[in-house]
Amino acid sequence: MTSTFILFDVDGTLMDAVENQRRVWHAWAARHGLDGDEVYAVALRTRPVETFAAVAPDADPDECLALLHALEDEDVRTGTYSAFDGAAELLNALPADRWALVTSNYEHRVRGRFERTGLPLPELIVDAACVREGKPSPVPYLTAAEKLGADPADCLVIEDAPSGVRSGRAAGMTVWTVNTPTAAEGSHRHFATLAEAAPEILASVRTR
């Protein structure tokens, strides 16, 4: 299999942010007098607006989101982040115009995290503000392909989450999963770690 472009998810794929997300949601829960573990368990499987509705149905969702964003921004400035093994070497080896980030987060946070971990940034970041529908909709990955001038069939998506896999598959792309014990349903190939996948990802890039 050869691909012209590589499209990476960020959290859980290139960067380990699990503890950061847990801390942010625990802090958010504390501000609302809620149990942090219970709130985080809901947040893991739902979008923020759905989490607010489930755990704080009487609260103003806009205020809930504003607080969450403020806590996330603070965590980017003060939290501890780490890139997965092999991430820096892989990204530095890819041509800058042949890969992109497709994330449900916001670009300023991604840039802050990448600067703190020393990861190189691509020319294109498709974030939550770029699209009208997030993953598992195909829109984020199709938007990246369009901006790169790429045929979706020539794109390889690297993901860790089931929603991201569904998004890439619905966009008509090849999807590989990393950093999980087992492959998410729909994944074309699975690797236990990003480092294990890195040589295969590099080998898949076709010279134009």
Q: Which residues are catalytic?
A: 9, 11
185: CB partners within 8 A, 6+ apart: 162, 165
Give the 3-state DSSP-derived string for 126-148, with helices as H, strands as E and coil as C: ECHHHCCCCCCCCHHHHHHHHHH
The edge-to-edge listing of strands for the beta sheet with 99-102 is 124-126, 99-102, 5-8, 155-159, 174-178, 189-191
Do the bridges between strand 5-8 and strand 174-178 make them parallel or antiparallel, or are there none, so unpaired?
A: unpaired
| CA–CA gap between residue 9 and residue 12 (Å, rounded) | 8
Pairing of strands 5-8, 155-159: parallel
Nearest CA among 82, 28, 81 for reference residue 55? 28
Closest CA to 171 of 157, 189, 187: 157
Q: Are 190 and 182 in contact (CB under 8 A)?
A: yes
189's tokens: 């190939």
Number of H helices, E strands in the chain: 9, 8
